Chain A
Amino acid sequence: MNQNKNITTTDDVLVKVEGLSKKFCKDLKTGLWYGLKDLVSRNPGAKDSGNLRPKEFWAVKDVSFELRRGECLGLIGHNGAGKSTLLKILNGLINPDGGKVTIRGRVGALIELGAGFNPILTGRENVYNNGAILGFSRKEIDAKLEEIIAFAELEEFIDMPVQHYSSGMKVRLGFAVAAQMEPDVLLIDEVLAVGDLGFVLKCFKAIDTILPRTAIVFVSHNMPMVSRICNQVVLLDHGKVEYQGKNVGEGIDLYYKRFAQNESKVLFDDGTIEIKNIQLISSIKTNDGLPILNWNDEFKLKFKILTYENIDMPKFLITLFDKEQRSVAVLKSNEINSPIEFKKDRIEFILSHKNLQLTKGIYSINVLVSNMETGVPLLRVHDILSFQLVDKEDYWPPFLLDATYSEI
Chain B
Amino acid sequence: MSLEVKVYQKENRLRFATLLRESLSDIFKSRFLSTQLAVRDIKAQYRQSYFGILWAFAPPLMTALVWILLNKSGAVTLTNTGMPYPVYAFTGTLIWSIIVESINNPINSTNGARSILTKINFPKEALIISGLFKLLFNSGIKLILLLFFVLAYGVGLQWSLLWFPFAILGAVLVGTTIGLFITPFGLLYKDVGKFISFGLRFLMYATPVVYVVPKEGLLKSIMLGNPLTPIILIARNTVTGSAPEFLGYFLIIIACCIPLLFVGLVFYRVSIPVIVERFSA
- Enumerate chain A residues within 8 angstroms of B185, measured Cβ to Cβ: 36, 39
Which B residues are in CB contact (< 8 Å) with A97? 10
CB pair B8–A95 under 8 Å, yes or no, is yes
Is B276 a contact of A125 with CB atoms below 8 Å?
A: no
A351 within 8 A of B: no
Number of A-B contacts (CB under 8 A): 144
A132 contacts the other chain (Cβ, under 8 Å)?
Answer: yes
Chain B interface extent, by class: 35 or more
User: How far, in whole Å, are A236 and B115 apart by their CA atoms in the complex?
Assistant: 26
Q: Is A118 part of the contact surface with B, judged by Cβ < 8 Å?
A: yes
Q: Report if A212 contacts B (CB, 8 A).
A: no
Tell yes or no: A231 within 8 A of B by CB. no
B4 interface contact, C-beta 8 A: yes
* CA A91 to CA B273, docked complex, whole Å: 11
Which listed segment binds B: A98-106, A238-246, A338-346, A367-375?
A: A98-106
- Contact (Cβ within 8 A) A43 B13: yes
Other-chain residue from B32, B36, B44 in contact with A120 (beta carbon distance below 8 A):
B44
Query: Which residues of the partner chain A approach B280 to less than 8 Å between Cβ atoms?
Result: 88, 94
B9→A99 contact, CB < 8 A: yes
Greatest chain A CB density within 10 A among B13, B43, B188, B276 is at B188
Is A3 among interface residues, defined by CB-CB distance under 8 A? yes
Instruction: Known A101-B8, A102-B6, A120-B44; judge A115-B189 contact (CB<8 A).
Output: no
Q: Does residue B178 face the partner (Cβ distance < 8 Å to A)?
A: no
A116 — which chain B residues lie within 8 A by C-beta? Answer: 37, 40, 116
Q: Which residue of A lies closest to B45 (CB)?
A: A120
Q: Is A134 an interface residue (CB 8 A)?
A: yes
Interface residues of A in 270-302 (CB under 8 A from B): none
A32 x B189 contact (CB < 8 A): yes
**A contact residues, total (Cβ < 8 Å):** 55
Taking a contact as CB atoms under 8 Å apart, the answer to whether A95 and B273 are in contact is yes
**Any B CB within 8 A of the CB of A135:** yes
Contact present for B119 and A4 (CB under 8 Å): no
Contact at B4–A91, with CB atoms within 8 Å?
Answer: no
Q: How far is the CB of B250 from chain A (nearest CB, A)?
A: 32
B278 / chain A contacts, CB cutoff of 8 Å: 31-32, 35
Q: Does B216 contact A (CB under 8 A)?
A: no
The one of A39, A100, A102, A107 in contact with B274, judged by C-beta atoms closer than 8 angstroms, is A39
The smallest C-beta distance from B194 to any residue of chain A, in angstroms, reads 15
| Contact A132 B273, beta carbon cutoff 8 Å | no
Taking the nearest CB of chain A, how far is it from the CB of B117, in angstroms?
7
**B38-69 toward A: CB 8 Å interface, digit per residue (1/0)?**
00110110011000000000000000000000
Given contacts A111-B119, A121-B47, contact A104 B3 (CB under 8 A): yes
**What sequence of 0s and 1s flags, for each residue 258-281 of chain B, a beta carbon within 8 Å of any chain A beta carbon?**
000000000000010111111011
Other A-B pairs beyond A32-B189, A35-B188, 10, CB < 8 Å: A39-B274, A95-B9, A99-B10, A101-B7, A102-B5, A109-B120, A115-B116, A121-B44, A125-B40, A135-B33
4 nearest A-B pairs in the assembled complex, by CB-CB distance? A132-B36, A105-B3, A112-B119, A100-B9
27 pairs of residues in contact across A and B, judged by CB atoms under 8 Å: A25-B281, A35-B188, A43-B11, A44-B10, A46-B10, A88-B118, A88-B276, A93-B120, A94-B276, A94-B277, A95-B8, A95-B9, A95-B10, A95-B277, A100-B7, A100-B8, A103-B7, A107-B6, A107-B121, A116-B116, A120-B48, A125-B43, A129-B37, A133-B33, A133-B116, A133-B120, A184-B3
Instruction: Give chain A's interface residues, CB within 8 Å of chain B.
Output: 3-4, 7-8, 14, 24-25, 31-32, 35-36, 38-39, 43-44, 46, 49, 88-107, 109, 111-112, 115-116, 118, 120-121, 125, 128-129, 132-135, 137-138, 184
